[in-house]
Amino acid sequence: MARKKNDNQQDPKNSQSAGDPEERILRTEYSEEMSKSYLDYAMSVIVSRAIPDIRDGLKPVQRRTLYAMHELGVRHDKPHRKSARIVGDTMGKYHPHGDSSIYEALVVMAQDWKKGEILVDGHGNFGSIEGDGAAAPRYTEARLSELSEVAFLADLDKDVVDFVPNFDETEKEPEILPVRIPNILVNGADGIAVGMKTSIPTHNLRETIAAMKLLMKQPTISTEELMEVLPGPDFPTGGLIINQSELLSLYESGVGRLRLRGRIELEQASKRSEKDCLVVTEIPYTMIGAGVSKFISDVAALIETRKLPEVTDISNQSSKEGIRIVFELKNGADPERVKNILYKKTGLEDTFGVNMLAVVEGTPRTVGLKAILAEFIQFRIECTTRKYSNLLRKEQEKAEIQEGLIYAIDIIDLIIEIIRGSKTVKDAKAALMGDPSGVKFKSAKSEKMARTLDFTERQAQAILEMRLSKLIGLEILQLTKEHDETLKKIGQYEKILSSPKVMTSTIIKELEEFAERFGRERRTEILEAEAAQEVKEEVVEQDQIFALDRFGYARTYDPAFFAKNEETVRNENREIFLVKNTGKIYIFTDTGVLHQVKASDVPLSRGKDKGVPLDNICNYESRKERIVGIFPDSAVEKEKFLFVTRDGLVKIVDGKEFVSGRKTVVSTKLAEGDSLAAVEQLSDSQIALITEDGYALRFAVSEISEMKKASAGVKGIALGKGDHVKEVHQVSPRARTGEAGGFDWNSVKLLKRGSKGSRMKKS
C-alpha cells in the first residue's frame, strides 16, 4: 500500500521558498563553483584594482581620483583644495573601496621621487624620499598638475571615450581617460594582484615621445632601432643603470632586471671639510623610503665590524635640494676601495625586477616596448578619430545654421511676413520648410516665394530664434566671417579623418608640443659596467686572544696587550682562548644548534672597548639560546667532543663533523623537551655527571661510543622522575679534591654507564 504524502512535505524538485518565489536551489560541483568564484575574484583584483590599463597607464583608483578632481574644478591655476574633500568625493561617487587607498594613490601621484611626471600638485606634507609618511588628508591640500590637466583630462568634453555608470548607477565616469602621452612608460607602474605582479620603470617623457613618433612614421621599425631614441628607463632619483647590454632583451620580452647604482662623487679636502669625502648625490630608485636609513645603518655596521675602517664619520645632509650623504675618509684611504665596498655590501647597488604587465583589451598581458607603444598609438588614433568626428559633426551643424541665417537675412522681408502671418510657431516653422498653408500672406507673390523655401528644421528653428540685432550690417559681416571659418575647420577635420598620413602628423604635432612644454633632460645615466667586486686585501695571519664576557659581548685582544693585562682580562671574561685572525669560532647552544663566527668579524679591543654582542655577528639569539660550548676552529678540526643532554644522554663526536661553510648548522639530535647540558672537548679518561637532585655518577669515557652528529646518543645516567643533569666534569682516575668541581671523586665509586649513581659528598 502506497504511503500517503504528508501535506507539509514538499517535493525537493519543486521546492521554493515561501517568502521568495524566485529562489531556486542549483545543484553544482563544489570544486567547479569554487574555481569559478576564485577566478572571478582574481580577475576583479587584476582589472579593477592592481594592474594598470595599457592605454592610460592608470589603475582605477588613480583614474577615478583624477576625474573627481576634474569634476571638482581643482585646476592647476586654481587654489588647492583639502585632500579630505577630494578623497570624499572620489569614494562617494566613484571608488567605494576605503579612503586610505584613495589617499595613498593621491599622495603617490604627487611625489616627484616616485613618478617621472607628477599628476597631482600637492600642498603640505606629502612625505619624503627618506620614507616619512604624508600628513593626514585633513591637513594636506592638492590640485591637478598642469600636465594631467592638459594631457589626461582635456578632451573629456569631446566624447572621445565611453562613459559608464558608477557603482550605484547615480553618476557616470569615464571607462578610460583620454591620455595623450604614453603614461604607462613615463610614470611606470607597480602592483601586486592575485598570482601576478607588474613592475614597469619610469621613462623620460621627451625620449618616450620620440620613440612613439619614430614608430608612427616607421611601423616596421625594430626594438633595437627604437632604443636609439629611448635607450632605457629614466628614474626620478637619477643614479646609474649599469647593465646596458641586457636592456634590448628586456624591452623585447617585457621581463628582465635592471642593475641600479647610486652616484658617488669624491670631494677633495677643502675649507668645507679637512679630509677627503665621498658624497652620495643620487640613490638607486629601489632605495627610496626606508632604504635610505637602512643604507646609513648598514654602512655604520660595516665600520663597526672593521670592514670599512677607512670611513671615520657619516652625515646625512640631504634636503629639499636633493640627496647628500657624506662619508669622511681617513688620510691615505683608497676611495675606489670604499666605493666598491659600498656598492657590494649595501643597497647602493641593487636590482630592479621588471615585468611589464598591463591590462590589454580587458586581459592582463606581459608586453614589450614596441607592443606598448603600438597599443598606445592605436588608442590615440581611436581617440583622435572620435574627437575630430565629433568636432566635424558640430561644425557641420553650425555651418548648416549659419547658411540658413545668411540666406534668411537676404530675404528678411519675406521671413518677417511669414512670422507676422503665422498663428503659431509651428505654422511659421512649417512655412520656412516649404509648407505655407498655415500662414496668411499679404500678397500672392509672397505666398509663391514662400513655397520655394526649403530650410531644414535646424535652420528654421535658428531663424525663429534670431534676434533683430543680427540685421545690423557689422553683425551680418561677422556672421559671414564665422561661416568662412567654420567651412575652413570642416575642411581641416575632413582632411584629418580621410588621410591616415594627416592623422599621424596631427598626433605627432600634439606630441611635440608636450615634449617641448613638459620635457626635461635625462636623469639616469646608462652604461655597461661589471657588478661591484669587493677589493680584498691580503690578510697577514696572526694570533689573537678571543674573549667572551658574561653579558655575551665578544672581543679580541692583541697577544702582547693580553700578556700585560692577563689578570684583568680573565676577571672580566668567562671564555678566553687563542684563535687565528683568519679563523673561526664555533658556538654550541643548548638548542642543539652550532653557530660559526669569523674571527675577523669580532672587533679588536684596546682594553676599554665594549666589544660586540654575538647576536650582531651571527645567528645566535641570546634570548632564546644558552651557550654550552665555545671553541676555536683549531680545536674543532682536530679534537673529539663530548655531548651531554639534560635528560642524561651522552655521545662522542669527531670535531670534523662540524666543519661547514654554513653559518648555522644542527649539531645534534634532541628528543622533544630535551636540551644540551654541555659540549666539551674530550680531555680525560673518565666522565662525572651531577644531577639537580644531587646524584653523581662516574664512569669511563671508553664506555661511550663515537657517533655521528645526527645521532641522539646513549644513556649516560639513569635519572629519577623530574631530575636532570646539572653539571658535567671530566676527571682522571687519580683526581684530587678541587681538580674537578671541588669534589672528592675518589669517594665516588666508579660504575657502569647508565647507572643511577650515588649521593654526592662535598669534600
We report the CATH number of the domain holding residue 720 as 2.120.10.90
Q: Give dist(CA 402, CA 482) in Å, integer.
A: 8
The pLDDT score that the predictor gives to residue 748 is: 75
Q: Give dist(CA 633, CA 648) in Å, integer.
A: 27
Q: Is the pLDDT of residue 527 over 90?
A: yes
The pLDDT score that the predictor gives to residue 3 is: 42
> Do 580 and 541 meet the contact criterion of CB atoms below 8 Å apart?
yes
Supply angle C-alpha 323, 346, 286, rounded to 5. 60
Amino acid (one-letter) located at 587: I
DSSP symbol at 538: P
Residue 424 domain flag: no
Task: Count CA atoms within 13 Å of residue 444 on its CB side.
Answer: 0
Q: Is the pLDDT of residue 363 over 70?
A: yes
DSSP symbol at 612: E
The pLDDT score that the predictor gives to residue 373 is: 97
Number of domains present in the structure of the chain: 3
Q: Give dist(CA 99, CA 81) in Å, integer.
A: 16
Residue 187 domain flag: no
Residue 510 domain flag: no
Q: Looking at the DSSP assignment, which residues form a beta bridge with residue 528?
A: 243
Q: What does pLDDT average to over the chain?
A: 88
Residue-wise pLDDT for 185-196, tens only, equals 999 999 887 678
Domain match, 599 and 727 both: yes
Beta-strand pair 695-700/758-759? antiparallel
Q: Is the pLDDT of residue 738 over 50?
A: no
- Whichever domain contains 122, its CATH number is 3.90.199.10
Which one has a higher pLDDT value, 524 or 732?
A: 524
Give me the catalytic one of 103, 139, 285, 557.
139
Residue 557 domain flag: yes
Domain endpoint, select from 302, 332, 347: 347
- Whichever domain contains 316, its CATH number is 3.30.1360.40
Instruction: Tell me the average pLDDT across 125-151.
Output: 95
Domain that holds residue 63: 46-179
Q: Is the pLDDT of residue 41 over 70?
A: no
> Do 588 and 667 meet the contact criterion of CB atoms below 8 Å apart?
yes
Residue 146 domain flag: yes
Domain endpoint, select from 158, 179, 200: 179
Supply angle C-alpha 730, 731, 736, rounded to 5. 145
Domain endpoint, select from 147, 179, 211: 179
Residue-wise pLDDT for 54-81, tens only, equals 999 999 999 999 999 999 999 999 999 9
Q: Is the pLDDT of residue 262 over 60?
A: yes
The pLDDT score that the predictor gives to residue 5 is: 43
Backbone angles phi, psi at 247, to 5 degrees: -70, -35
Domain match, 635 and 748 both: yes
Q: Is the pLDDT of residue 720 over 80?
A: yes
The pLDDT score that the predictor gives to residue 473 is: 66
The separation between CA 547 and the C-alpha centre of its own chain, rounded to angstroms, equals: 44
Residue-wise pLDDT for 660-670, tens only, equals 888 999 999 99
The pLDDT score that the predictor gives to residue 124 is: 95
Residue 70 domain flag: yes
Residue-wise pLDDT for 448-475, tens only, equals 888 888 899 999 998 888 887 777 766 7
Task: Count CA atoms within 13 Å of residue 651 on its CB side.
Answer: 20
Q: Is the pLDDT of residue 603 over 90?
A: no
Residue 745 domain flag: yes
Q: Is 139 a catalytic residue?
A: yes
The reply to whether the predicted model has a pTM over 0.75 is no
The pLDDT score that the predictor gives to residue 17 is: 44
Domain match, 613 and 705 both: yes
Which of left, alpha, beta for 681 (phi over 0: left; psi -120 to 50: alpha)? beta
Residue 740 domain flag: yes
Grid cell locating 732:
682522571
